[in-house]
A and B are shown apart, each in its own frame.
Chain A
Amino acid sequence: MQGSIRLHDVHLDFPVYNAGSRSLKKSLLWRGTGGAVASDANNRVVVHALDGVTLELKHGARVGLIGHNGAGKTTLLRVMAGVYEPNQGRVAIAGRICSLFDLGFGMNVEATGYANIILRGLHLGLSRREIIALTPEIAEYTELGPYLDMPLRTYSAGMRTRLAFAVSTSIQSEIMLIDEGILAGDLHFLNKARDRLSTVLGGTSIVVLATHSPDLMRDWCDSAILLRAGKIVGVGPVDDMLAAYTASSR
């Protein structure tokens, strides 16, 4: 199946609630006092994380997201993953999504490694039978051996990442959304992870990668999107965009 991602004029504001405006009392008081204390009781700070993003990614897209910290890379990935719905604008995604941001979700520390493979697979939309069929392959890839029969709380952080990564990448998906943060880990795992991703990416319809590493981006992407303050400022070949990015950061 061919995946597609369409975003049209997407605006996304993050309300930043401080302790004050989250309290029911202040909210009620504010209503009761007719807005007189609005500035201090309801001082909501709003961050414009995405500001009118229009984008179409079709089958075969290999895109890197470039931008400074806070330029909206992660937010854009999360909009593509369907986690955040925009305040304004339209989003349409077709195809199964594999998102590799923070791998910690959907795991139970008291359950064994095997039980967690099933749990995580269910979260990712597989049926129990499908996961059981995939389990031997996942188990082999993790190299965790007898640890898979032990509860997850006995695992080191790196081992948990390895398990989570193995499950997420074993599922055939059309859209792959990768945040570079997950590519941290011990060197051996890092190399293995890159190898595996390269293989998986080959069969994926659309890949979006947010990274600060020019090498990784050149390896995996053929085009790039340059973001600045929530806006797309450039779309083009990776090297052009990297050059534009370097020029802008000087």
Chain B
Amino acid sequence: MAITSPSREPAVNSFVSDEWLSLAPPSMWQLGLRDLLAGLSLWRLWTRLGWEDIRQRYTRSVLGPFWISLSMLVMVFGLGTLYSKIMHQSLQEYFPFLTLGLLFWRCFADLISDGCLSYLQQEGLIRQIKLPLSTHVFRTIFRQFVVLGHNFVIYLPIAVIFALVPNWNTLLFIPGFLLWIVNAVWMVLLLGMLSARFRDVPPLVASVIQIVFFLSPILWTPATLGTRAGIVEFNPIYHLLELVRAPLVGRQPDAWSWVGGVGIAVIGWGVTFPFFARFRARIAFWL
């Protein structure tokens, strides 16, 4: 089969036009930003992929993802009755606190540990076709939020039993959760890159997360610290949890928690974006 080139001038040259060379190439900042925006615009792809990930994990299982919800429900009832006694707390206060704390902690911990693998797991894809790298980050986050969504069913019986009636404060959950998403993106973006380059990061993160769980007010309430309750203000996790936990029990989050949540986002993005812009192109070589 003979294919002739339709244009007269040669289609293959070992030089490029000066005209093109005189155009300024995009800066690394522009490329970084473009990657994030292009990744977002591919939402059809990453929502579908995130969904398939979950389906694949639980294929041929009867309860499927509800296994996690079920085990969490058992945990909440077990821990709730025991720890409310140990900490001299009323069931009415402790149960919703514990349930929401565990729900969001679980989501946070999974986001972090799964986030470490967001590039490592997609090695094949990253080296085969050009996709914005942030696509893989959004896929991980979407997947974890789907898990959070179905785990959330265990909050419903608790809300009914302890008569948690939604009020105006409940609406504050929306900005609180948006702040969560903003923070989740930089965390996964940063950890994914660090883990691709340094393979010690995923196990390191996994062990740190366990310690943070016990140091954060999830099983214990800040009030049990008595006069030292103020110390939780220094724990960023406390603020992140407070932003979503307080509205759902009908309270307003503390003003400092808003400051904390926004502060974490500003500092986190301030570190992550330059890092992403600088090393984005190297990720394919790290895998």
Interface of A toward B, CB cutoff 8 Å:
6-8, 14-15, 17, 22-25, 27, 54-63, 78, 81-85, 90, 92, 97, 99, 101-102, 104-106, 108-111, 115, 118-119, 122-124, 127-128, 198, 201-202, 206, 219-220, 222-223, 225, 232, 235
The answer for the CA separation of A250 and B52 in the assembled complex, in Å, is: 52
Which of A83, A101, A206 is the most central at the interface, judged by chain B CB atoms within 10 Å of its CB? Answer: A83
30 interchain pairs, CB-CB under 8 A:
A8-B20, A22-B197, A22-B200, A23-B200, A24-B198, A27-B198, A56-B12, A56-B16, A59-B7, A60-B6, A61-B12, A78-B127, A81-B129, A84-B284, A84-B285, A85-B281, A90-B25, A102-B128, A105-B124, A105-B129, A110-B56, A111-B56, A119-B48, A123-B45, A127-B44, A198-B1, A202-B3, A222-B3, A223-B10, A235-B12
**In the complex, what residues of B have CB within 8 A of residue A22's CB?**
197-200
The answer for the CA separation of A8 and B225 in the assembled complex, in Å, is: 64
A58 & B7 in contact (Cβ 8 Å cutoff): yes
**In the complex, what residues of A have CB within 8 A of residue B2's CB?**
222
| Interchain pairs with CB closer than 8 A, number | 135
The answer for the CA separation of A106 and B286 in the assembled complex, in Å, is: 20
Out of B5, B204, B285, name the residue touching A60 (CB < 8 Å): B5
**In the complex, what residues of A have CB within 8 A of residue B227's CB?**
none
Q: How far is the CB of A125 from chain B (nearest CB, A)?
A: 8
Known pairs A127-B44, A223-B11 / 8 extra A-B pairs, C-beta < 8 Å: A24-B200, A55-B14, A60-B5, A83-B129, A102-B124, A110-B59, A219-B1, A235-B14
The answer for the CA separation of A180 and B12 in the assembled complex, in Å, is: 21
B130 & A61 in contact (Cβ 8 Å cutoff): no
The answer for the CA separation of A56 and B19 in the assembled complex, in Å, is: 13
Q: How far is the CB of A238 from chain B (nearest CB, A)?
A: 11
**In the complex, what residues of A have CB within 8 A of residue B281's CB?**
85
A106 & B16 in contact (Cβ 8 Å cutoff): no
Q: How far is the CB of B206 from chain A (nearest CB, A)?
A: 14
A220 & B3 in contact (Cβ 8 Å cutoff): yes
**In the complex, what residues of A have CB within 8 A of residue B204's CB?**
24
**In the complex, what residues of B have CB within 8 A of residue A23's CB?**
198-200
The verdict on A6 contacting B56 (CB below 8 Å), with A83-B128, A102-B128 known, is: no
B125 & A106 in contact (Cβ 8 Å cutoff): yes
B12 & A223 in contact (Cβ 8 Å cutoff): yes
Q: How far is the CB of B35 from chain A (nearest CB, A)?
A: 11
Which of A55, A118, A206 is the most central at the interface, judged by chain B CB atoms within 10 Å of its CB? Answer: A55
